[in-house]
Amino acid sequence: MTNENNAEKAMSVEDVRAYSENYNMGSAARANHVAANAAVKNGVIKAATSYEGTRELTHDFSIELKQGSITDQQRSGRCWMFASLNTLRYELMHRWKLEDFEFSETYLFFWDKFEKSNTYLENVLATLDEPTESRTFEAINAYPADDGGWWQMFANLVNKYGLMPKSAYPESANSKDSDAFTQYLTTKLHQDAIELRERHSKGASIDELRTLKKRYMEDIYRICVIALGEPPAKFDWRARTKDDEDDDKTEAQKSGPKFDKASKTSDGSTQLDSAKTDANNKSDNAQGESGIDERKQIVEHDITPLEFYHKYVPVDVNDFVTLCNNPMKERTFYTNYELKYSTNVAESGDLSFTNVPIDVLRQAAVDQVKAGHPIWFACDCMQYCVRDGGYFSKQAVRVDELFGTDFNIDKANGLKYGDYPSNHAMTITGVNLDENGKPNRWKIENSWGKSTGTDGYYVADGEWFDQFVTEVIIRKEFLDAKTLKATQAEPVKLDPWQTLSARCE
Answer for the pair 465, 57: CB distance below 8 angstroms, yes or no. no
Helices (H), 49-169: 51-56, 79-96, 105-126, 135-142, 151-161
Q: Is 141 a catalytic residue?
A: no
β-sheet bridge partners, residue 475: 320
- Residue 267: per-residue pLDDT: 36
- The separation between CA 438 and the C-alpha centre of its own chain, rounded to angstroms, equals 25
**CA separation, residue 135 to residues 26, 201, 498 (Å):** 52, 20, 11
Torsion sign (Cα): 239, 245, 246, 250: negative
- Residue 246: per-residue pLDDT: 41
Answer for the pair 448, 72: CB distance below 8 angstroms, yes or no. yes
Among the listed residues 156, 385, 446, 504, the single catalytic one is: 446
Closest-CA residue to 169 (of 83, 100, 107, 112): 107
Range 367-379 burial, b when 16+ CB lie within 10 A, else e: bbbeeebbbbbbb
- Residue 5: per-residue pLDDT: 72
Q: Is 224 a catalytic residue?
A: no
Strand pairing report for 270-273 and 258-264: antiparallel
Alpha carbon distance 339, 80 (integer Å): 18
Q: What's the average pLDDT block by block, 10 residues per block, for the chain (505 residues)?
A: 74 94 92 96 97 96 97 97 98 97 98 98 98 97 96 98 98 98 98 98 98 98 98 98 58 44 36 37 54 92 98 98 97 97 97 98 98 98 96 98 96 96 96 96 97 96 98 97 98 95 88
Could you tell me the CATH superfamily of domain 56-73+315-494? Cysteine proteinases (3.90.70.10)
Q: Is 424 a catalytic residue?
A: yes
- Residue 277: per-residue pLDDT: 36
Among the listed residues 325, 336, 424, 504, the single catalytic one is: 424
- Residue 210: per-residue pLDDT: 96
Among the listed residues 79, 324, 379, 381, the single catalytic one is: 79
What residue ranges do the domains of the chain occupy?
A: 56-73+315-494, 101-228, 235-303
The helix-helix angle for 105-126 and 79-96 (nearest 10°) equals: 130
Instruction: State whether residue 132 is helix, strand or coil.
Output: coil
- Residue 327: per-residue pLDDT: 97
- Residue 259: per-residue pLDDT: 42
Alpha carbon distance 504, 426 (integer Å): 10
Answer for the pair 241, 296: CB distance below 8 angstroms, yes or no. yes
Find the helix or strand (DSSP H, E) in which 475 lies: strand 469-475
